[in-house]
Amino acid sequence: MTADTAGDAGAAENGFRRWRDAAREALYGPDGFYRRPGAGPAGHFRTSVHASPLYARAVARLLCRVDEALGRPPALDFVDMAAGRGELVTGVLGALPADVAERTRPFAVELAARPEGLDDRIVWRDEPPEGVTGLLFANEWLDNVPLDVAEVDASGTPRYVLVRADGAERLGKPVAGVDAGWLDRWWPLPPEEGLRAEIGLPRDHAWTAAVATLERGAAVAVDYAHGAGARPPFGTLTAFREGRETAPVPDGS
């Protein structure tokens, strides 16, 4: 891969931009993957929510434990981050004991439009409510917060990876500032050409903001992960289409 030594301006003129910007539009733009009507993500891949009703039951049990720890408050909040089509929050409501369900205020946080036929009790929002008392649950949300990708060039310098809507890539400017600091701390790249990392700072910020909405209770993030000492050498960026893993192309499909 060649580096854009003149900077990112010329690349932008040719349709190249950083992965974070490209992914944001492809996933969450007006016609983005997560905002389109229809089956949504479940038409292309399954999470634990889709695989078995046991998952929703386990989350319901966790919510009951939080309820007990809080002294059974008059109103118990359940916030489902990145709610998809409301599958998890619906399953949790159906699995709660009647006395807990009566006090539960369910929130589904999602940028897509509210699906038809959803339980009227569920409040559909594009951001979490403030002052949550209960459980904020983020199931496979953080892995969909857009971020930049870095790749080491021939001189051993990590550079931003630029991408076009058709998936073509090239290297841009060297990673600098807080992004470089994050890489040094959490995903240091040896000076070996072609090694890659994802700069997770936006996900740190997103999780911090979500947790800040919690007044009393618990916040849980469930996602794929790897330790800082065992980072995959070429990153984790991938895509799925109709159940099959495929090359990521930021065109919304």
Domain-located, residue 1: no
Domain-located, residue 112: yes
Q: Give residue 30's pLDDT.
A: 82
Q: Give residue 5's pLDDT.
A: 46
Q: Give residue 112's pLDDT.
A: 87
Instruction: Return d(Cα 76, Cα 106) in angstroms, integer.
Output: 8
Q: Give residue 253's pLDDT.
A: 80
Strand stretches in the chain, DSSP E: 17-18, 76-81, 104-109, 123-125, 132-139, 148-152, 158-163, 169-174, 196-199, 214-222, 239-241, 244-246
Domain-located, residue 60: yes
Domain-located, residue 180: no
Pairing verdict, β 148-152 and 196-199: antiparallel
Residue 68 burial by Cβ neighbours in a 10 Å radius (0-12, 13-18, 19+): exposed
Q: Give residue 243's pLDDT.
A: 77
pLDDT tens, residue order, the chain (253 aa)? 555 544 555 566 589 999 999 999 998 888 877 777 665 565 555 666 666 789 999 999 999 999 999 999 999 999 999 998 899 999 999 999 999 999 999 999 998 889 999 999 999 999 999 999 999 999 999 999 999 999 999 999 999 999 999 999 999 999 999 999 999 999 999 999 999 999 999 999 999 999 999 999 999 999 988 998 899 999 999 888 877 888 999 988 8
Domain-located, residue 118: yes
Dihedral through CA 106, CA 211, CA 85, CA 101, nearest 10? -20
Q: Give residue 9's pLDDT.
A: 59
Instruction: Return d(Cα 231, Cα 10) in angstroms, integer.
Output: 32
Domain-located, residue 104: yes
Q: What is the CATH number of the domain that holds 71?
A: 3.40.50.150
Q: Give residue 249's pLDDT.
A: 92
Secondary structure letter of residue 3 according to DSSP: B
Residue 3 forms beta bridges with which residues? 171
Domain-located, residue 119: yes
Residue 89 forms beta bridges with which residues? none
Secondary structure letter of residue 43 according to DSSP: G
Domain-located, residue 87: yes
Domain enclosing residue 112, as ranges: 48-139
| Domain count across the chain | 1
